[in-house]
Amino acid sequence: MKDVFPRFPLLSGDTPLTPLANLAAELGIASLWIKRDDVTELACGGNKLRKLEYLLGQARSEGCDVVITGGSPQSNHARLTVAAANKAGMETWLCFAGDRLGKVQGNLLLDQLLGAQLFVTGAYGSDGLLEVMRKKALEAKRQGKKPYIIPVGGSTGRGDYGYVVAWHELERQRQQLGLPPFDEIYVAVGTGGTLAGLVIGRGQTQTPTRLCGISVWQGKERAERDVNRFIRHICEEINLTMDADIESSYVLFDQYIGRKYGTPSPAGNEAIRRLARSEGILADPIYTGKAFAGMLDQLAKVGNKDKRVLFWHTGGTPALFTHAASFELV
Ligand SMILES: *Cc1c(COP(=O)(O)O)cnc(C)c1O
């Protein structure tokens, strides 16, 4: 697909699409594949780099020199923004939720190593943080800088466009390998921008694949409202007339969040262990482990043996170390 927006390249090629043959045999399904967006090459990798290619592309085309974003102190998005902005020759200011940073480990350690300016804001939620980021942008302007604000999770029409492009990458790889469409694709849902991008891409290629989002943060109703909102934002951004039935043309599960967002769940950690021991691949306890657990649970139901399934790995592995203690009990 030809790029319609300026892109600052952060991925040098397609991410691997590989079979999980051992697990497919264990589960007794026709096939299981994985799309490795966890091995995108900057600073431990992850899905946010696909969004950042277009966000930083825009920032650079507008002549900006400081990126302002935020999230929790253990945000993967924050870590990858600093890494990408360093490569683009821009400064990064990180606005963190809450009133303390917590232990310097995992993503926070990497933010420091990468040289971001860190701010503890006392604010909570995506909207609260966005307000703080706007204030910081005014401060940057007073210092003669040109700021570019990226909302929590990098989810804007422009950023999520990266996952429309990712969908087309998957389709190309699949066809090169001579594979028929997957019956189901599972992906973790945080803000919902990643799933929204995939839904738009699938609409464009009219591929008969069921997109299954495993929410790790919000209940089904809110998550669905957000995914639908991001679908509309992407359509506006790329001037696409939206099919009336594209909203909610995916499945969302909210029963795998565990106690709450940001806290590991026993099922998620068990799924991490299972993937690691059968395939040598690492998932994380906040996003991909829970999503993987959700997929395993869904596939354990009857009537799945002919299914051809893909798990879209979105990264997050630094959180394994932050939450090391959660693996000690089992
Ligand atoms: C941010 C993130 C997600 C969720 O992506 P959204 O676009 O916010 O839904 C999933 N997995 C990992 C590891 C992430 O860091």
Q: Which residues of the chain have pLDDT under 70?
A: 1-2, 329-330
Instruction: Tell me if 154 CB under 6 Å of ligand 1.
Output: no
pLDDT digits (tens, 9 = 90+) for 220-276: 999 999 999 999 999 999 999 888 788 889 999 999 999 999 999 999 999 999 999
- pLDDT score recorded for residue 53: 98
Comparing C-alpha atoms, which of 29, 12, 4, 23 is closest to residue 305? 29
212 inside domain = yes
Q: How far is the CA of 143 from the centre of ligand 1 (A)?
A: 33
> What percent of the chain stands above pLDDT 70?
99
Note the pLDDT of residue 118: 98
106 and 145, same structural domain?
Answer: yes
Task: For the chain, list the strands marked E by DSSP.
Answer: 17-19, 31-36, 66-71, 91-96, 117-120, 147-149, 184-189, 210-215, 251-253, 308-313
* Residue from 31, 72, 75, 265 carrying the catalytic annotation: 75
Do 225 and 260 have their domain in common?
Answer: yes
Answer yes or no: is the C-beta of 78 below 6 A from any ligand 1 atom: no
Question: Which of these three, 153, 182, 214, is where a domain ends?
Answer: 153
Bridge partner list, 312: 35, 187
Residue 288 inside a domain? The answer is yes
Query: Residue 52's domain spans which residues?
Result: 48-153
- Check if 191 has its Cβ closer than 6 Å to any atom of ligand 1: yes
| Residue 182 CA to its chain's centroid (Å) | 20
Judgement on whether residues 72 and 35 belong to the same structural domain of the protein: no
Same domain, 205 and 307: yes
Domain count, the chain: 2
- Are 38 and 59 members of one domain? no
Q: Is 162 in the pocket of ligand 1 (CB under 6 A)?
A: no
pLDDT value of residue 242: 81
Q: What torsion, rounded to 10 degrees, do the Cα atoms 265, 269, 270, 275 define?
A: 140
Is the distance from the beta carbon of residue 217 to the nearest atom of ligand 1 less than 6 Å?
A: no
Taking each helix axis from N to C end, the angle separating 193-205 and 220-237, rounded to the nearest 10 degrees, works out to: 60
- Please indicate, yes or no, whether residues 239 and 260 belong to a single structural domain of this protein: yes
Rg (CA), the chain: 19
What is residue 97's three-state secondary structure?
coil
Decide if 265 is catalytic: no
Residues 148 and 290 grouped into a single domain: no
- Mean pLDDT score of the chain: 96
Ligand 1 atom nearest to 286, measured from its CA: 13
Ligand 1 center to 139 CA (angstroms): 29
Q: Do 154 and 59 meet the contact criterion of CB atoms below 8 Å apart?
A: no
> What CATH number did the domain enclosing 284 receive?
3.40.50.1100
| 119 lies in the same domain as 168 | no
- Express each pLDDT in 1-20 by its tens digit: 667 899 999 999 999 999 99
